[in-house]
Chains A and B, each alone.
With several copies, the nearest count.
Chain A
Amino acid sequence: MKTIYKKPDVFLSENMHYCPGCTHGVAHRLVAEAIAELGAEERAIGVASVGCSVFAANYLDCDFTEAAHGRAPAVATGVKRVHPNALVFTYQGDGDLASIGVAEIIHAAARGENITVIFINNAIYGMTGGQMAPTTLVGQTTTTSPGGRNPAGAGYPIRMSEIIATLDGAAYVERAGLYDVPSIARAKKAVKKAFETQVHKKGFAMVELLSTCPTNWGKTPVDAMTWLKDYMIPQFPLGVFKEV
């Protein structure tokens, strides 16, 4: 029997609290695969953020620090400076990274902090019940944009990868999507590359993963993937924005 696919041991997926079909799980798996493939289980230190992924430490079997909302890049900086040879990564949602924590991510990137950031952009605040995120699309209905996001007043979605790519300290920035099997395969490559960037001490690496939130989007998991592809990608084009 040849194994075609088996989850890596470092992924503890049995008791995940995520809603059915939520691609947070897929993203976790890609992180776990990258760590396993780099053989870095023993030196990986994750920094979880506040959002639906707040329990990430329960699902990835490596050292973890749970950061305050938005501050994961600062926490990771503290960790990485103390253990420069550890594989330090943050896992953050779009509310966490692009709203309350935008200063921390920009400065970690500007410093060229040698860490890896996994950025889950699902265009919504999942954990708190579907409020508008900075990445919410124009017209998208959320619990705090009941009539759909109206740019007059609520502004426009922020493209974080494009911003981070302007910074000299950023070594690798890519945006990928989790909406079908091929896109997940490409996302996996991006995640691995972002970890390799750190291993090679090239500086700050971030992968933005467009992700679904079936629950708060009010869609089935399958429809959510279609919506992601049809509506999110035009606003958040996929691709490599920086590579040194």
Chain B
Amino acid sequence: MSYVEILTDVCKGCGLCVSVCPAGIMVLSPDAINARGYAPVTITAMENCIGCASCARVCPDAVLSVYKEVLT
């Protein structure tokens, strides 16, 4: 299972991650506003995340970190 960590207060709601997520699980908060006045990104269904890190690699503000559970 993969996990995406979001620094919500750093997010500027630019939507770039949303546009590249192959799982289509990212969305800009329709209601919340962060400390800087932006609608930050949230993940609707973390369980569908494939851990591709596309979102993190396109994010200009390094808002996102991506982790994957490793079976040892």
Contact = CB atoms under 8 A, between A and B. Distances in A.
Is this pair of chains taken from one and the same complex?
A: yes
A221 B15 contact: yes
A22 interface: yes
Contacts of B19: 222, 225
A85 interface: no
Interface in A189-244: 214, 220-222, 225
B2 interface: yes
B68 A4 contact: yes
Interface string A17-36: 01111111110110000000
A21 B12 contact: yes
Interface size range on B against A:
20 to 34
Given A25-B60, A185-B57, A222 B7 contact: no
Interface size range on A against B:
20 to 34
A25 B56 CA distance: 12
B61 A13 contact: yes
Contact of B68 (A2, A20, A221, A222): A2
B69 interface: yes
Interface in B1-48: 2-3, 7, 10, 12-16, 19-20, 38
Contacts of A180: 20, 58
Contacts of B51: 4
A130 to B, nearest CB: 18
B70 to A, nearest CB: 4
Contacts of A225: 16, 19
A contact face: mostly helix, strand, loop, or mixed: mixed
Nearest to B54: A181
Nearest to B7: A14
B60 A26 contact: yes
A81 interface: no
B65 A181 contact: no
Contacts of B20: 180-181
B12 A20 contact: yes
Contact of B16 (A16, A18, A24, A221): A221
A14 B15 CA distance: 17
A83 interface: no
A26 B15 contact: no
Interface of B: 2-3, 7, 10, 12-16, 19-20, 38, 51-54, 56-70
Interface of A: 1-7, 11, 13-14, 16, 18-26, 28-29, 180-181, 184-185, 214, 220-222, 225
The 4 closest A-B pairs by CB, nearest first: A25-B60, A21-B14, A20-B12, A13-B62
Given A28-B60, A214-B14, 10 more contacts: A4-B51, A5-B56, A11-B62, A13-B61, A14-B7, A22-B60, A25-B59, A25-B62, A222-B16, A225-B19
